[in-house]
């Protein structure tokens, strides 16, 4: 790890002051950025701690029934929030299944959204890959059992790592991004950058910008959501497939659906073809399986990860069922 300055921001203005140094990085929980520095993938001159900013850590009800979550709210706070558990269960479930309790006590929701991919080539200083500014994707013809099966045609085949991003997308979340005194709001769906657009970035944040809030819209009537993460190991493992489903239901009838996949593509991947299968129909295991098939229709597995298609099909149909209150294992 390189030597670096450490700026401890007392408030949001202070954070922006520290960020005036062009070679600086934001640190919230520090889970990912310190890993990247230890691996030698990041070597900022200055690290700006925003975990010390009290104004960024909150879960508040907004004016129009929306919920506003401060960017440095920890995953542990989110998983245990009664409001979130009641109104946005998919988010609570996503937060509750990330990493380990120790990490969730420190990791923040903003940091979770901004974390970089876990591709073992990208994460290793032994490989200078495309995403690190090199000219090769080592995974494409290499060890790619955990890599992308969708959206993987533009050279880099990483998968998106954030579980909360998947849940938040399904819940229609928006972000507030600030730079000095300016603020803008955008849909989380528009936050992501595909490899085709810029292979070295995962999101649109520019240097000096900060996510300050995540806004969850007021739940629609009869909205129900569910998130499920399938791991190989049950303790501390990244998903091989994770899925968030949000349904607007009338009885078992699906009036509207949002289905988002994580660990499938370089960005959280919304599968509209699968949503359409559910539209206007009563949710059953059979229908959910049809939707899962539709979600995987465009999957293009790499040499080692064809199994992920089967895993996704299972996790998608089960998560749809769980969101609709149907037992996916009923015989």
Partner 1 sequence: MPREVTLKVGVGKNLKERIVEIPDNAPRPWDGSDDLKYVGKRVPRVDGRDKTSGRAKFTFDIQLPGMLHAKFLRSKYPAAVIRKIDTSKAIKYPGVKAILSVQDKLPLIVRFAGQEILAVAAETAHQAAEALKLIEVTYDVRKFVVDKDLAKEKNAPTVFNTQVEEKLTEGDLPGEHSEVTQKGNVRGPNISPKDATPEKIDAALASSFAVVEATYRTQVQTHSAMETHGVVVDWTAEDKLKCWASTQAVFAVRDELAGSFKLPKSNVRIITKHMGGGFGAKFGVGIYGVMAAKLAREAKAPVRLMLDRKEEHLCVGNRPDSVQSLKIGADNDGKLTGIKLISYGTAGTGTGAGTSGPAKNIYEYDHFYSEESDVFTNAGPGAAFRAPGHPQGAFALEQAIDELAYKLKIDPLEFRKINTPNNEIRQAQLKIAAEKSGWARRNPNPGADKGPIKRGIGIANSVWYYFYGRNFQVSTQVNNDGTVKVTNGVQDLGTGITTVIVTIAAEELGLKPSDIQVSIGDSEYGYGPASGGSVTTGGLSPAVRDSAYAAKMKMFEIAAPMLETTADKLAAADGKIFIKENPDKSLSWKQVAKKIPGDNFIAIGERKEDYHKLDIGTIHGVQIIEVAVDTETGVVKAERVYAVHDCGRPMDLLTTESQINGGIIQGISYALFEDRILDRNTGIMVNSNMEQYKIAGALDTPEIESVVLNVHYGQSSTGAIGIGEPATVATAGAVGNAIFHATGVRVRELPMTPDKVLIALEAMKGASS
Binding site for partner 1 (CB under 8 A): 1, 3, 118, 120-121, 124, 126-127, 138, 141-143, 145, 230-238, 240-241, 304-307, 310-311, 313-315, 329, 331
Give Cα separations from 69 to 98, 168, 221, 252 (angstroms).
Answer: 18, 11, 21, 31
* Closer CB to partner 1, 58 or 127, in the complex: 127
At closest approach, how far in Å is the CB of 147 from partner 1? 11
At closest approach, how far in Å is the CB of 235 from partner 1? 2
At closest approach, how far in Å is the CB of 288 from partner 1? 12
At closest approach, how far in Å is the CB of 169 from partner 1? 22
Give Cα separations from 278 to 192, 243, 288, 289, 318 (angstroms).
Answer: 26, 16, 7, 10, 14
| Cβ 141 vs Cβ 220: under 8 Å | no
Give the per-residue SS3 of 313-326. HHHHHHHHHHHHCC
* Closer CB to partner 1, 2 or 206, in the complex: 2
* Closer CB to partner 1, 258 or 318, in the complex: 318
At closest approach, how far in Å is the CB of 38 from partner 1? 10
* Closer CB to partner 1, 224 or 231, in the complex: 231
* Closer CB to partner 1, 16 or 138, in the complex: 138
Q: Classify 34 in phi/psi space as left (phi over 0), alpha (psi -120 to 50) or beta.
A: alpha
As a whole number of angstroms, the distance between CA 160 and CA 194 comes to 10
Provide the token pair at 226. 């569910």
At closest approach, how far in Å is the CB of 247 from partner 1? 21
What is the full DSSP assignment across 19-65? TTSTTEEEESS-HHHHHHHHTTS---SEEEE-TT-GGG--EEE-TTS
Give the per-residue SS3 of 224-261. EEEEEEEECCCCCCCEEEEEEEEEEEECCEEEEEEEEE
* Closer CB to partner 1, 46 or 128, in the complex: 128
């Amino acid at each position: 790890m390189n030597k670096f300055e450490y700026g401890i921001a007392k408030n949001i203005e202070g954070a922006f002051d520290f960020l005036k140094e062009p070679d600086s990085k934001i640190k919230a929980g520090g889970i990912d950025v310190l890993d990247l520095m230890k691996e030698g993938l990041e070597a900022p001159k200055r690290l700006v701690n925003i975990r010390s900013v009290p104004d960024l850590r909150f879960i508040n009800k907004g004016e129009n029934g929306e919920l506003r979550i401060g960017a440095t709210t920890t995953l542990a706070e989110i998983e245990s929030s009664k409001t979130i558990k009641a109104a946005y269960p998919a988010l609570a479930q996503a937060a509750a299944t990330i990493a380990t309790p120790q990490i969730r006590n420190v990791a923040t929701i903003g940091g979770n959204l901004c974390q970089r991919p876990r591709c073992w080539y990208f994460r290793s200083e032994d490989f200078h890959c495309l995403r690190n500014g090199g000219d090769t994707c080592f995974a494409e013809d290499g060890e790619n059992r955990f890599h992308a099966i969708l959206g993987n045609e533009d050279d880099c085949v990483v998968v998106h790592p954030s579980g909360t991003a998947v849940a938040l997308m399904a819940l229609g979340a928006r972000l507030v991004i600030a730079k000095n005194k300016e603020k803008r709001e955008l849909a989380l769906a528009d936050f992501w950058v595909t490899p085709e657009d810029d292979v070295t970035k995962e999101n649109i944040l520019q240097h000096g910008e900060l996510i300050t809030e995540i806004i969850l819209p007021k739940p629609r009537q009869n909205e129900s959501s569910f998130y499920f993460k399938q791991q190989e190991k049950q303790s501390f493992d990244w998903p091989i497939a994770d899925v968030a489903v949000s349904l607007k239901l009338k009885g078992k009838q699906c009036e509207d659906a949002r289905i988002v996949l994580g660990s499938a593509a370089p960005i959280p991947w919304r599968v509209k073809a699968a949503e359409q299968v559910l539209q206007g129909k009563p949710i059953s295991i059979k229908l959910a399986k049809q939707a899962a098939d539709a979600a995987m229709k465009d999957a293009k597995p790499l040499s080692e990860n064809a199994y992920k298609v089967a895993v996704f099909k299972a996790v998608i149909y089960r998560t749809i069922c769980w969101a609709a209150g149907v037992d996916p294992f009923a015989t």
